[in-house]
Each structure stands twice: as C-alpha cells, then as structure tokens.
Amino acid sequence: MKTNRILNLSLILVVLAFFGLTSCQKTKSTVDNPNTTSIQNLAGDENQVTAANDEATNDINAVIGGTGGLKSTDGWHLPCHATIDSTTVVQDTITYYITYNGANCRGNLERHGQVEIKKHVNTRWHQQGAVIYYTFINLKVTHLRSNKSITLNGHKKYTNVSGGLIWMIPQYISLVTFKDEGNLTVTFDDNTTKTWNVARQTTFTYSTTDNGYTLTVDGFGSSDGYNNLVLWGTNRNSEQFYVQILQSVVHRQVCGFDPCSGQKKIMIPGDSKGATITFGYDSNNQPVTGNDCPTKYKVDWYKNGNSGTLYLLLP
C-alpha cells in the first residue's frame, strides 16, 4: 500500500512538472514575440506622407510650370477643389498660394489647407538647376481608402535637376528629374506631432506599355553614417528612425501612382529593429505580374534577433 502511494505521488509530481514546463515554455514564447506595431505604424505613416507630398509637388509643377494644354485625363492639370492666388513682386520674389478645400482630381485624397510657393521673378522653372521654395501650411490630407489623416507643416527646397517640364514628356523630352529636400512637421491622426527630414529625388518618364507616366523615387540624404536616405527623424513612438531606398521605388500613373516595385529599408537602431519594405503585391500576398496593380506591400521585419513577414494594405 505504501509503495502504491509513493508511485502515485511520483506520477502526480511528473505530471505537474510536465504541465509546469509546458506553461513556462508558452509564456516564454509569448514574451519573446516582438511587438511590430511601431514598425507597421512607421511604414504606413511614411507611405501616407509620401503620397501627400508627391500630390502637392505635382500641383506645384502644374501651377508654376503650366500644363501644356493637357486635359485632366492626361495626368497634369491644375489642382481640383483649390484656389490659386499670387502676390505682387516683393524684393524680386513672387509668391503663389494653393488653397485646398476638397478632394483631389483622382478622388483618393481629401485636402484642406495651403501650400505657399516662392519663386524669384527671373527663375524659369523649365531651366536646368532652377530652384523654388515652398511651405506646407496646416495642410490636412485624408486618404479616403483608409480614412486616415495627416497634417503637414514645413519648408522645402525644390530643384529642377534636369530641366524641362513634366507635360513635355514624351513629345519633346524623355524625362524630368527633381530634388525635394527640407523638413516636415507631421501631425498624425492620434495628435502625435513629429519632425521628419526629407531628401527625395523623383524622375518622371513615360511608359508606352502603360500609356501613362512613371515616377521613380530615390533617396539622396545622409545622416549619422547612413546614406541614400529618403526620410529620417522621430516616429510617433519617439524612436529615431532612418528610411533608406535600396532599389528605386517605381510609381505608375495607371495604378493611381501607387508604389508598384522597389525596396526601402527602415532602421530603428535604438531598439535593434527595422524592416525591409518590398512593393508590388496583390490581395493574395503574391507579387503582381504584367500590368496588374498592387494592393499590398511586404514587410520583412526584424527585432532583437527575431524576424517575420507581414503584408500590409497600401494607404
């Protein structure tokens, strides 16, 4: 009888030890699972800011460079639901104002606020090396697909690197390249406000396959030992970040200028985490082929020796 009791007690202890070990292993697995929220937020925020900024610079090109008589369906036109004003010349500088009060012409962004553009009266925007300066003034942009909003303030320098105007492509020239640099104060929809640095080079060409324009983006910024940066600053979680373009990011007009291919690298060194962003995925998480347009992008994240893959919807 005593022997049986000892055997039963031993069996109970073994069972308890097994479940205790299993419980500890499950808890450890949960604790070690990295939190990717800040990486996902930064990837989405960066795409939102980029789309809003590109739309604004396209409007600036139309206002100071003209549209060449193109119709709205041709892609380059004066902004919809906006008023355009200019001032008299003050100290050799003329100032233009674009005041937004509704949706853009493509109907994917709702915009309210203002862009101020300053140009020297002798500057001819079509000339190689021409420079203008512009300022975002409480420009609130809502992406209607996601219903997420950002508000932009800040000062930028905009340079026509190659010379020429977008509407001249492809009839008169094959491409136009611009450099866009400066800083932005970004207010997110949770009322978090952060300052970002921008260094974007954009090149416009025309695709006969798509029968539309193609926008190629590269980074030319440098900071803290990182090169080819397109954005850097502090994210909404107060973490220092750097966004580097590994492969030129290509946007196609036929896809509403969504990013269709290319790679970016997000680095948040203070928390030993980051991600490689690859554009050009469909709703089934497969790479798009042919003339198909993407709906998602891939995020290969890492944090403290852990890694994984996410597929996120374009904003």
Give residue-wise pLDDT tens across range 144-191.
Answer: 888 999 999 999 999 999 999 999 999 999 999 999 999 999 999 889
Amino acid letter for position 305: G
* Half-sphere exposure at residue 219, Cβ-oriented, CA atoms within 13 angstroms: 24
Q: How far apart are CA 136 and CA 251, in angstroms?
A: 23
170 dihedral zone (left: phi>0; alpha: psi -120 to 50; beta): alpha
Task: Work out the average pLDDT over 23-52.
Answer: 68
Pairing of strands 221-223, 176-188: unpaired
Asked if residue 270 has pLDDT above 60, the reply is yes
Lowest pLDDT segment from 22-26, 87-91, 310-314: 22-26
Please state the rounded mean pLDDT for residues 258-280.
96
Give residue 31's pLDDT: 33
Average pLDDT, the chain: 87
pLDDT reading at 276 higher than 50: yes
Position 3 scores a pLDDT of 43
Note the pLDDT of residue 7. 39
Name the residue among 294, 293, 292, 298 with its Cα closest to residue 311.
298
For position 184, what pLDDT does the model report?
A: 96
pLDDT surpasses 50 at 1: no
The answer, yes or no, to whether residue 121 has pLDDT greater than 80, is yes
Is the CB of residue 232 less than 8 Å from the CB of residue 244? Answer: no
Whether residue 194 is predicted with pLDDT greater than 90 in this model: the reply is yes
pLDDT of residue 145: 84
